[in-house]
Amino acid sequence: MKGTLVAALLLTASVAGAAEIYDIDPAHSTVGFKIKHMGISTVLGRFAKFTGTVSLDKNAPKAARAEAVIEAASIDTGIEKRDTHLKSPDFFDVAKYQELAFKSTKISPMKGDQFVMEGELTMHGVTKPIRLDVVSNGSAKDPWGGTRASYSATAVLNRKDFGLVWNQVLDAGGLLIGEEVHIVIEVEGVLRVEKPKTSSR
């Protein structure tokens, strides 16, 4: 499997070579979601395997772009039986649709460190536009001499828009599983250091 991100991010500058590129650190990043159960409680879940990069040209914030890939089979809600059902053709059908992918199309700065990232999300073989509300949490030097940057992002989508339509009607009315899904992403990236080119002579 080629990619194993989510939200997650690749920010690409408009001027070639001007971007600082960060590789997402899965050990300190989370791609999570929340969905209603029977309309009265909330089930939390996450995708455990993902990859991505973050890059930013500080002189051209509006030129930022993002890409991310998630391994669908890494879905984890803490209940094995439920996760098996989510991987089945009733939901993600991971044998057929192995990855989720995001690619940004536009960045709109808001107040302070907040911005809106618009893009396209591909899930269950369907591609739809999505909006992420993002907060930059700043950057810091780690103990190993590297530089890290952090972002928090949230989004809301309707799973039926992506063909995830399975549900059950309750005896008292209403649906077993909510259709609205809240996405919660925490990303920490490590600045990529380009290795100096060595002479072939």
Q: Which residue has the tokens 């089979």?
A: 73
d(CA 139, CA 199): 34
- Alpha helix segments (H runs only) across the chain: 80-87
Mean pLDDT by 10 residues, the chain (201 residues): 39 50 93 96 97 81 83 98 97 98 90 92 97 94 93 97 95 92 95 67 54
What is the domain partition of the chain in residue ranges? 20-34+44-157+185-191
Domain topology for 20-34+44-157+185-191: Lipocalin (2.40.128)
Task: Give the HSE-up count for residue 77: Cα atoms under 13 Å, Cβ half-sphere.
Answer: 18
State the pLDDT at residue 13: 35
Q: What is the pLDDT of residue 199?
A: 54
Q: What six digits make up the tokens of 136? A: 């930059």
Which tokens hold the place of 90? 């009733």
Closest CA to 157 of 175, 176, 177, 179: 179
User: Which pair of structure tokens corresponds to residue 186?
Assistant: 């925490």
Bridge pairing between strands 177-191 and 147-158? antiparallel
Closest CA to 187 of 27, 72, 60, 20: 27
